[in-house]
Structure 1
């Protein structure tokens, strides 16, 4: 199949519209799609990256709280009641 001039023009216009659409989305939504397609960023959606970071921080805080509770629970009975009283006064 040979490429006729009209097919070539249609292909060129289609690619041009696609690239303009990506640039518009980058500008309007801040998605960084063009950089992503060129390998410049890890994810084109920065909002999701911040949500993942917030979730990771929350998980880390919960893990620290669980470690504290485990240390309290594994203490002897006398120390356990003292630690619970301390927590109640805080």
Structure 2
């Protein structure tokens, strides 16, 4: 009876550790490091390569949009543009 109990205990511990490793891999929770005392929080956010690439793409897009806005500001504040707008209003 005790042999079966030890086998069940071993299989249960093995299944629990495999589950923790799978959760670490899938979600980046760092559970095994937390259980062994190496990490402070198992749910600390980790940045993946995909998130870093997405952030870089967003930064590039924001930079492009800022440049476009600056160009549009220069066009709109240009005296010739204002004159053309006044002429267009008079033509109506």
What's the TM-score once normalised by structure 2's chain length?
0.48
What's the TM-score once normalised by structure 1's chain length?
0.49
Larger radius of gyration: 2
